[in-house]
Amino acid sequence: MEEKTFQTVQEIGFTSLIQKIRNYSGTDRIEIEKGIGDDASVQIIDNDKAVLTTSELFLEGVHFDLTYHPLHHLGYKIVTAAVSDIYAMNGDPVQILTDIAIPNKYSVQMIEQFYKGVDAACKDYNCQLSGGDSTASHQILAISVSAVGVANKKDIIYRNGAGKDDAICVTGDLGGALAGLRILMREKEYWKSNEGQQFQPDLQGYEYVVKRQLVPAARMDFINMLSESDIKPTALIDLSQGLLADCKEIAVQSGWGVELFTPAVPISVDTRKVADEMKEDVDKYAFYGGEDFEMLFTLKKDDVEKFAINFDDFAVIGRMTESKNEFRINTGEGDSIQIDL
C-alpha cells in the first residue's frame, strides 16, 4: 500500500507521532534506564543513583495567553509543570533551565516579571535556576523549560508498575484548571466586546479556579510524604494531559484495563459552580481538563487504608482491571461507558 505523502499530525494524533519518533532514538546508551515514554528520562549514575530529566515547550497563543496570564504567574507555572514531572518519578528536582525567545514588544521589565515568577517557584520547590538561553523572536514569546532531578534508583516510580486490582488514586481535586480557563476566556470575550476600555476582569468568587489555572502548585507535599512512608505507589504520573489521557498511560504501560467510578472523582464546589454557569458537564472538566498537576497513582488495594494514615488529601477513584485495553467508566447510576484504549 502506498503511503500517503501528506498526513497532518492532527490526523494521526500526537500519541502516534511519538510512537514514530521512538524509531529515531540514536544510539542505545546503557546508562539510560528509561528513555521516551515516562514523565522524565532516567539515566543511571554509578549503579544506584539516577538523574531524571524532563523538558517542555510553551508558546504564546498556544499554551498561554498574556491577555490574562500575568508574566510572573507564567514563570511560576512553567516551573511547576517541569518540577511536577520530576515528582511524578518520585524524584527531587535540583535544577531548572529556561530558554526564552523574546519579541520586541516585551520590555526588559516584563521579562524580569517572568523571572520573578520562576524565582518564586524555584524557591518554593527548593531548586535552582541554573541555565538556559535567551534569544530574539519575531512574533511570539516562546519558552522551554527543563528540569533535572535526582533519585535513588530503587525509589523511582514508573507509569508501568500498576498491578491487577490495584486501587487508582488521585490527590487534591480535578478540573479546577479548566474551570479557571473558562472564566478567564469569558472575561476576555467580554473585554473584546468592550474594546478601548481598560481590561479589569471580574474574578470575584472565582479565585480558587483562576489560581488553579494561572499559578498551579506541584505536589511537593506528596513526594515529601512518600520519602517517609513505607508504602510506595506501584505507578505514578502527574495530571497534565487530563485524567482519562493520563490514566490511559498507566493502563497501557502497565498492561491492564481501568475502571473509574465517576462519583468518586474529587471535584471542588468552585469547579462545579463554573460548570453549572457554563451549562457544561463538570465530569468532563475532571476527565479531559489538563494542567491540574495533581498526582495520579496506584496502590495495592490492601495498602490503601494504611497509606491514608500519613496522607489524607487523596481519593480512590477506580481500579486496575484484568480486561486489558478496556477503559470502563462507571457512572454510579447503573450506567457503564466503555472506551477502547
For a copy of itself, the binding residues in 62-91 under the rule CB under 8 A are 62-63
Query: Within 10 Å of residue 68's Cβ, how many Cβ atoms?
Result: 21
Which residues ranging from 107 to 126 are in contact with a copy of itself (CB under 8 A)?
107-109, 111-112, 115-116, 118-119, 121-123, 125-126
Q: C-beta of 255: minimal distance to a copy of itself in Å?
A: 22
Of 37, 23, 34, 121, the C-alpha closest to 80 is 121
Q: C-beta of 325: minimal distance to a copy of itself in Å?
A: 24
CB environment 204-218: b (16+ within 10 A), e (fewer) = eebebbbbbbbbbbb
Per the structure block, which three cell numbers stand in for 205?
Answer: 468568587
Relative orientation angle of helices 269-278 and 176-192, to the nearest 10 degrees: 40
Answer yes or no whether residue 106 interacts with a copy of itself by CB under 8 A.
yes
Considering only 74, 89, 96, 299, the residue that binds a copy of itself (CB under 8 A) is 96
Q: C-beta of 254: minimal distance to a copy of itself in Å?
A: 20
What Cα–Cα distance (Å) separates residue 104 from each residue in 58, 68, 108, 110, 138? 18, 20, 10, 11, 8
Answer yes or no whether residue 49 interacts with a copy of itself by CB under 8 A.
yes
Considering only 97, 244, 264, 341, the residue that binds a copy of itself (CB under 8 A) is 97
Which residues ranging from 9 to 48 are in contact with a copy of itself (CB under 8 A)?
9-12, 14, 17-18, 20-21, 23-29, 31-32, 34-36, 40-41, 43, 45-46
The four Cα atoms 34, 36, 39, 40 give a dihedral, to 10 degrees, of 60
The letter for the amino acid at 338 is Q
Per the structure block, which three cell numbers stand in for 20?
Answer: 514514530
Which residues ranging from 217 to 276 are in contact with a copy of itself (CB under 8 A)?
none
Per the structure block, which three cell numbers stand in for 192?
Answer: 473584546
| 152 SS3 class | strand
**Contact (Cβ atoms closer than 8 angstroms) between residue 3 and residue 123:** no
Given the complex with a copy of itself, which of 144 and 171 has the nearer CB atom? 144
Given the complex with a copy of itself, which of 107 and 310 has the nearer CB atom? 107
Whole-angstrom distance, CA of residue 100 vs CA of residue 133: 6
**Contact (Cβ atoms closer than 8 angstroms) between residue 134 and residue 100:** yes
Given the complex with a copy of itself, which of 131 and 332 has the nearer CB atom? 131
Answer yes or no whether residue 7 interacts with a copy of itself by CB under 8 A.
yes
Of 113, 123, 121, the C-alpha closest to 71 is 113
Choose the binding region for a copy of itself from 104-112, 165-173, 228-236, 321-329 (rule: CB under 8 A).
Answer: 104-112
Given the complex with a copy of itself, which of 78 and 275 has the nearer CB atom? 78
Whole-angstrom distance, CA of residue 78 vs CA of residue 60: 13
Q: C-beta of 114: minimal distance to a copy of itself in Å?
A: 9
Q: C-beta of 269: minimal distance to a copy of itself in Å?
A: 32
Choose the binding region for a copy of itself from 133-141, 187-195, 286-294, 302-310 (rule: CB under 8 A).
Answer: 133-141
Considering only 65, 69, 70, 150, the residue that binds a copy of itself (CB under 8 A) is 150
Answer yes or no whether residue 136 interacts with a copy of itself by CB under 8 A.
yes
Of 161, 129, 145, the C-alpha closest to 57 is 145
| Number of shown-chain residues binding a copy of itself (CB under 8 A) | 86
Given the complex with a copy of itself, which of 28 and 340 has the nearer CB atom? 28
**Contact (Cβ atoms closer than 8 angstroms) between residue 206 and residue 335:** no
Given the complex with a copy of itself, which of 34 and 212 has the nearer CB atom? 34
**Contact (Cβ atoms closer than 8 angstroms) between residue 100 and residue 111:** yes
Answer yes or no whether residue 129 interacts with a copy of itself by CB under 8 A.
yes
Choose the binding region for a copy of itself from 136-144, 266-274, 287-295, 330-338 (rule: CB under 8 A).
Answer: 136-144
